[in-house]
A and B are shown apart, each in its own frame.
Chain A
Amino acid sequence: MMIRHLKAIFAAALVAAVSAVVPAGIPVARAQNLTLDIVNGVPSAIPITIVPFAFESAATPPATDVSEVIRNDLARSGKFRTLGRQDIVETPTRGSEIKFPTWKLLKQDYIVVGRERDTGGGQVRVDFELWDVTKQQQLLSLAYTALPADLRGVAHQIADQIYQKIIGVPGAFYTRIAYVTAVGVGKGLQYSLIVADSDGYNPQVVVHSLQPLLSPAWSPDGKKLAYVSFEHGDSAVYMQDLATGARQLISARKGINGAPSFSPDGTKLAMCLSYGGNPEIYVMNLATRQLTQLTHSMSINTEPRWMPDGQSIVFTSDRSGKPQLYQEPLSGGGATRITFQGEYNANVAINYDASQFAMVQGSGNVYRIAVMDRKLGDQMRFLSPGPMDESPSFAPNGSMLLYAASEGTRGVLYSVSDDGRIRQRLSLANGDVQSPSWGPYRQH
């Protein structure tokens, strides 16, 4: 069992960046950092040592501990077991300094060494090497140069490189997440839509409201978020550019305007709208704003998610009595029910190749995150203990998920490895965290 407490200190510069994207008239507040705790470990994970990187210039070392960020990323994935700092008995900084018998004795499969130096002009160069301990073979040797403020991003990219080299699929540490916080009580309750790094650091406020915000959805290029806001009394769907803060009203029709989801090519937005009298799935062409109604049933149809090929949509419907998942091609032709185990299956999240469907599965008063393996005869496995878990969202590489849970009367987020064996809580000291959504790979 590992328990880690990490608290980030976050720069005042963030507030300036944030203020540009807050709609006029709503006061700006700084986003609080989430507190991160890893709550269980995986004994069978791959042993790897990240040796603390040396800072080889006379200048003051940057505040970010790059090797520590890498170590936490790899540990959080559930795929790696990282050697604790107290057990790191030697501190090589380059491959030529590694004494392999030491690391073999410590039963390490891989070792990462690195060093940083000031390059002038305020930039820092980070060199790192990944070595196979058994074969005594170098697997990676790369360098990044960045401003000190961007070193966490560099560390996440290095962790992605290591992950891909060893596991064989791209890492998803250098990505962002969106979520909603609710802080305060009664009429003082304030909702904020936040974008942060995948480990919860660098939170930035996208929008504030005194009314509920929910269901953030990323555009495939990671540049925009669509979300639901009650700021004018009833639900409405907005789309906001993260860099400029420019915001467009997408739909404020009569009734429900909810559950936005971008098509894989980013040109369309699926939503739940009830202006026609019943909550149905509609698809909007974002260029023309033309709406096409996909579902036609006298039941609740909501939570649309696109299949990766963009040809069909999976959604929640209670047409059979209780909520279940259905799939309908964009070309029409009716919906096919796809969940049959469990009395309540809703809010699907689909991984990159549609081999895994995560959902909220309810049974009695217990709601857990379940994953249906579409390559293994739709076998279901539970990723979370409940009792009030919801909003599953896959990392772009499918290796981890985010979901929302309730602890006491507080809303928290968890990230969980796809095998369910390692979970990390992301919480706010004095408020609720909810509606998580994991963003796409970042475009460099």
Chain B
Amino acid sequence: MNKTVRITLAALLSVGLAACASKQAVKPQPEQTPPPPPPVATAPVASGKYTPADLDTDPCLRQRSIYFDFDKADIKPQFQQIVACQAKYLVDRPEARMTLEGNTDERGTREYNLGLGERRAKSVASALEALGASAGQITVVSYGKERPVCREHNETCWAKNRRVDIVYTAK
């Protein structure tokens, strides 16, 4: 792991912690989080900019779901790399657009879960923007608990439903 990557991860972790500490995914305060390094430094690929073809071939970019803990909206460390490469894609391709679809598990009420799904999607949006993506590239939608991918009443299933799906609407 080279030094720039390490700094980037540290920055991302602070984003996650900031989102965790405050209940809603507010943008990190400048004094709390060092400004993100030049986007190129975060590149999971060796050199150059992402192209639309990478969306189907790049092992990081192909991962379009970010999973959350129960009733939480902070991005866990193991998903920071996915956020980083998706952010780089948005930076590399200003014409690219994505929708972040926030989802929850079945526990709790439908309307509260709409709020929680939105909080998760906004947490991902804030992290992407902190890494240089433009707010205009990102649309947030919450489905709450209305679109489960798994319908059983157990933690394995719930874990699959607590997610933000990244859907590119323009590549």
Contacts and interface: CB of A to CB of B under 8 A. Distances in A.
Interface string A296-308: 0011111100000
A279 B116 CA distance: 10
A406 B151 CA distance: 11
Interface in A93-139: none
Interface in B108-161: 108-112, 114-116, 118-119, 140-143, 146-147, 151-153
Contact of A230 (B26, B116, B146, B151): B146
17 contacts: A215-B110, A230-B146, A235-B114, A255-B142, A256-B142, A274-B115, A279-B115, A298-B22, A300-B119, A303-B109, A316-B112, A347-B112, A391-B109, A406-B106, A409-B152, A409-B153, A435-B110
Contacts of A358: none
Contacts of B106: 388, 406
Contact of A316 (B71, B111, B140, B153): B111
Interface of A: 212, 214-215, 230, 233-235, 255-256, 258-259, 272, 274, 278-279, 298-303, 316, 318, 321-323, 344, 346-347, 360, 362, 365, 367, 387-388, 390-391, 406, 409, 434-435
B107 interface: yes
Contacts of B116: 300
Given A234-B141, A303-B111, A298 B24 contact: yes
Contact of B107 (A299, A367, A435): A367
Given A256-B115, A298-B23, A300-B119, A360 B108 contact: yes
Contacts of B142: 235, 255-256
A274 B112 CA distance: 12
B105 to A, nearest CB: 10
A302 B112 contact: yes
Q: Which of A300, A322, A434 has the most CB of B within 10 A?
A: A300
A154 B92 CA distance: 69
A409 B106 CA distance: 11
Contact of A323 (B24, B112, B118, B147): B112
Given A272-B115, A347-B109, A388-B153, 17 more contacts: A212-B143, A215-B111, A256-B115, A256-B142, A258-B114, A272-B114, A298-B26, A299-B24, A302-B115, A303-B109, A316-B112, A321-B23, A323-B109, A388-B107, A391-B110, A409-B152, A435-B110
B82 to A, nearest CB: 24
A302 B108 contact: no
Nearest to A362: B108
Contact of A387 (B24, B109, B153): B153
Contacts of B119: 300
Contacts of B110: 214-215, 390-391, 434-435
B57 to A, nearest CB: 27
A233 B26 CA distance: 25
A212 B146 contact: yes
Contacts of B152: 409
A318 B112 CA distance: 9
